[in-house]
Structure 1
Amino acid sequence: MRWFEPLLFPFSFIYDTVTRFRNHLFDIGHKNSINFDIPTIVVGNLSLGGTGKTPFTEFLIRMLADDFKVATLSRGYGRKTSGFVLADEGSDANQIGDEPFQIYEKFKNKISVAVGEDRVMAIPQIITERPDTEVILLDDAFQHRYVKGDINIMLTTFQKPFFEDNVVPLGTLREARKGASRAEIIIVTKCPNPIDTGTKESYINEIKRYNKKAKIFFVGLKYGLLQNVLGDRQSVPSNFVLVSGIANDQLFRKEAEKKHQISYHFSFSDHHHYKSDHIKEIVSKCKEVKESGILTTEKDAVKLKASIFRDYLAEIPIFAMPVEINMEIKDADFIKESILQVIKEKGYSE
């Protein structure tokens, strides 16, 4: 135990009490949860972030977008706007948030991407503006209980599973561990490959202390070939300055160091708002090493390519390392069949 942890117990207790009471009001029906006619799939977690929600949401998009009109809806954390916004060609990370904009840039020709703090109001707005929508993916909405999802998918990391965590500020949980009981599917993310049977059984037994009914799956991450962020340079530098503003960048850094020479790492907080001074410092580091460039995450890339930074970065190659969920085919098939069953029950079809 760290020396200051006893000081956090009272604050953690208060936060835990408040969130338990709020959940109790929903459980007894004093607060209402709305189940919409359109199929809604909730993707979320118990912790503050870093569980791989965006890669998993993209995984579901790839799974469904060829057969259905899909829309994603999130709060749009970190954006400089408020209210409902439906992404279009004029959107950027400041308007809709870095993660929704990342999704929009990848899938804008296949899906609709919307943000809105009030999901109960946002869902009808999506249907009004995109009446052909057939399924909505609610990103980071596990605690947004005013909407009752048809399937609740909860993510937790292998490195820091929810059953070993505590409520903030003592830990990183947004609510008590028992909140996991609301999930129909629990995904343990960022798993090593391979993961031994004994470890899997141990995790399953711990998870079942809080949810006996959920299907439990273990997934890893797979990194793709580097992508040229600005699209105007093809040669990959021999050396990189690493830039990341995500909740947990250890796996990203480890993967980068396996394949590339890294001279320095700028590690910012999650959803970091880049300013000109940050960019100048990054560029300065790049220029210290000959033939050096920037290697960053997809999430940060959408912010670094903003027009206000273009002059600073004009001579610096910028590459992003894409990441996807790596799941066994039989597990992916189960998730897809579960979603297809809900879609069918609500009167939609492929």
Structure 2
Amino acid sequence: MKKSLVFWVEEYFYNPNFLQKLLSFLLLPLSWVYCLGMFIRFKSKTPVDFEIDIVSVGNLSVGGSGKTPLVTTLASRYKDAAVVLRGYGRSSNGLYVVKDRDTVLCDVNISGDEAMIYAHKLPNAIVIVSEDRPLGIQKAKEMGAKIVFLDDAYSKHDIKKLDLLIDVKTKNNRCLPSGAFRERLWSYKEAIVLEDGKDFKRVVNLKNKSAKMSLVTAIARPSRLDEFLPEVVSKNYFEDHHKFTKKELEEILKKDSSESLLLTYKDFVKVESFNLPISLLDLDVQVDEKIFSRIDNYRGKD
């Protein structure tokens, strides 16, 4: 039931049918109230200078946009970097240092899947999960970070930072609950909007390929993977951040008579201990040098 609801909501937000469009129209008054509330919230905040360079990478809509590989590429360029994120889907609460500069300090249940990706892919960076982003920033400073990357923090208007926003295309550009937008790009707030294919380009590496692979993934809007997929026996979609069991994955292998499961890195970090045959759809991005220049110019400001 939960899985069906999640996919219905994703369709409603990004590719609505006639009945969903009608529902969206009927909910417009609530969207206007919501959007006004978010604007008032924005205007009521005063950005606090944490005396450290902070770059936020996010998007205005709900659902996936490819923030994690973009943050990974950006953070890998800088020494003494830290990544601070909420850690959505984790079984823990509060602040945890997932990784110091050298060592992963907890498991994926405590960190959440996205934080564990950073821990694996950024060997020299600090990774911290915290619902309280200012607390996470302060911890990163204490640990010696010189630049902090925030995953999905546009709405944290009380933090002085450089905002990078991924432009997500949708046929429904209204605010919640009529559409997918959590917030607008307020004209009073400076942000750099990044376009996929123009400011950055996605690159996929297929690792440990087998002749018969079953795609298994728990990412938001999994159809985003279609353009990168090799031939697969089946596509098995789960709701975003789903916690897999070894049994359900073994059943997919058996049902399809597959030689391996094809996973994204976000899925892989949750199941690597299962000792199952895995092929990896490893997504990276190539970033236009002008984006790094914008970050460097921001860091040069007084």
1: CA distance, partners of 2:188 / 2:203: 29
SS in 1 for 2:55: strand
Other-structure match for 1:81: 92
In 2, Cα distance between the equivalents of 1:5 and 1:184?
A: 28
Contact 2:233 2:258 in 1 (8 A): no
Q: Return the match for 2:60 from 33, 46, 57.
A: 46
- Matched AA of 1:140: D
AA matched with 1:224: N
Aligned to 1:110: 124
Superposition pairs of residues 289-300 of structure 1, within 5 angstroms: 289-300=256-267
Partner of 1:342: 298
Q: Deviations over 1:193-226 (max 9, x none)?
A: xxxxxxxxxxxxxxxxxxxxxxxx5433110131
The Cα of 1:285 is off from its aligned counterpart by 2.5
2:115 touches 2:127 (CA, 8 Å); kept in 1? Answer: yes
Q: What amino acid maps onto 2:107 in structure 1?
A: D
Matches of 1:170 and 1:184, distance apart in 2: 24
Tell me: CA distance 1:183–1:246, structure 2 relative to 1, closer, same or farther (3 Å): farther
Which of these residues, 323, 339, 347, is aligned with residue 283 of structure 2?
A: 323
**1:133-172 correspondence runs (5 A):** 133-149=145-161, 151-157=162-168, 159-160=169-170, 165-172=173-180
What root-mean-square deviation, in Å, do the aligned CA atoms of Structure 1 and Structure 2 show?
Answer: 2.1
TM-score, normalization by structure 2: 0.84
For residues 84 and 216 of structure 2, what CA distance do their matches in structure 1 show?
A: 27
- Give yes or no for contact 1:46–1:180 (8 Å, CA) kept in 2: no
Q: Distance in 2 between matches of 1:17 and 1:185?
A: 23
Q: For 2:38 and 2:119, how far apart are their aligned partners in 1?
A: 32
Q: State the 1:46 CA deviation.
A: 0.6
Aligned to 1:269: 239
Q: CA deviation at 1:110?
A: 0.9
CA distance in 2, matches of 1:19, 1:101: 31
- CA deviations on 1:62-107 (whole Å, 9 max, x unpaired) are 322xxx2101111111111112111133312221211111110111
Q: Is residue 42 of structure 2 the alignment partner of residue 23 of structure 1?
A: yes
Alpha-carbon distance in 2 for matches of 1:142, 1:166: 18
1:233 counterpart residue number? none
Cα distance in structure 2, aligned partners of 1:336 and 1:4: 42
Given the alignment of the two structures, is residue 247 of structure 1 paired with residue 232 of structure 2, yes or no? no
Hey, what's the Cα distance between the residues in 2 that align with 1:19 and 1:49?
18
Aligned residue for 1:95, secondary structure, equals helix
| Structure 2 spans left out of the alignment, 5+ residues | 1-17
Please list every run of 5 or more consecutive structure 1 residues that lacks an aligned counterpart in the other structure.
Answer: 27-31, 192-216, 229-235
Runs of 4+ in 1 over 6 A off after TM superposition: none
Look up the SS of the partner of 2:44 in the other structure: helix
Percent of aligned pairs sharing the same letter:
26
Separation (CA, whole Å) in 2 of partners of 1:317 and 1:152: 40
| Secondary structure, aligned partner of 1:104 | helix
Higher-RCO chain (CA-CA 8 Å, sequence separation at least 6): 2
In the TM superposition, residue 291 of structure 1 has moved relative to its aligned partner by 4.5
TM-score by length of 1: 0.74
Alpha-carbon distance in 1 for matches of 2:111, 2:248 = 26
Conserved? CA contact 1:102–1:298, under 8 Å: yes
Query: Aligned partners of 1:317, 1:253: CA distance in 2, in Å?
Result: 22
**Aligned residue in 2 for 1:185:** 192
Once residues 179 and 268 of structure 1 are traced to their aligned partners in structure 2, the CA distance between those partners, rounded to angstroms, is 34
Shift of 1:156: 1.3
